[in-house]
Amino acid sequence: MAHEVTGAPGRPVRLLLVSDTHVPLRARRLPEELLREVDAADVVLHAGDWVDLATLDLLEERARHLVGVHGNNDGPELRARLPEVARVTLGGLRFGVVHETGPARGREQRCAALHPDLDVLVFGHSHIPWDTEAPGGLRLLNPGSPTDRRRQPYCTYMTCAVADGTLAEVVLHRLPRR
């Protein structure tokens, strides 16, 4: 694991999960509600498709701790600053962040085989929220997109908390339609 982040004694680590922001292609800027969540989170996990450097710079400036990866729509400048896969231990759980995991069919088995050393895998790409558990206990989370709902009824992001090796309070948040 790259590094470990723990919360204050007796307090869980608060996480914000986001992906596929696509600024400025799908939105001029990130929604204010999402930026308030960035400010409140201990760690922001971004699963790629930032599209512009300004969004990365903004989250690096505002987030207490940022873990991000590049996606298929991210150009050379973003790829130079972000890995394809990121790993971090948060509150005693081993997290991985990637952009793509392939087709929905067989995702759990495929990801469990590719990432046997993780407890939670955060991914993006589809813009479709996802929360399942793979064989062996790997939790798969896709927060959707806060700016491009595609075929989904709402733009979304996720929050959760981690303490003492337990993932809790996983919430999918819907953003108001614009």
CATH code where residue 53 lies: 3.60.21.10
- Grade residue 5 by pLDDT with cuts at 50, 70 and 90: confident
pLDDT in the model for residue 11: 87
Contact 170, 131 (CB under 8 A): yes
Q: What is the DSSP letter of 176?
A: P
pLDDT in the model for residue 8: 66
- pLDDT tens across 9-22, in order? 678 999 999 999 99
Q: How far from the centroid of its chain's Cα atoms is residue 53's Cα? A: 17
Q: Which domain holds residue 140?
A: 4-175
pLDDT in the model for residue 28: 82
Distance CA 84, CA 95 (A): 14
pLDDT in the model for residue 9: 66
Number of structural domains (the chain) is 1
Mean pLDDT of the chain: 93
- Grade residue 1 by pLDDT with cuts at 50, 70 and 90: very low
- pLDDT tens across 137-168, in order? 999 999 999 999 888 899 999 999 999 999 99
Q: Which amino acid is at 134?
A: A
Q: Name the residue among 112, 133, 116, 128 with its Cα closest to residue 172.
A: 128
The pLDDT of residue 178 is above 80: no
Q: Name the residue among 168, 139, 172 with its Cα closest to residue 156.
A: 172
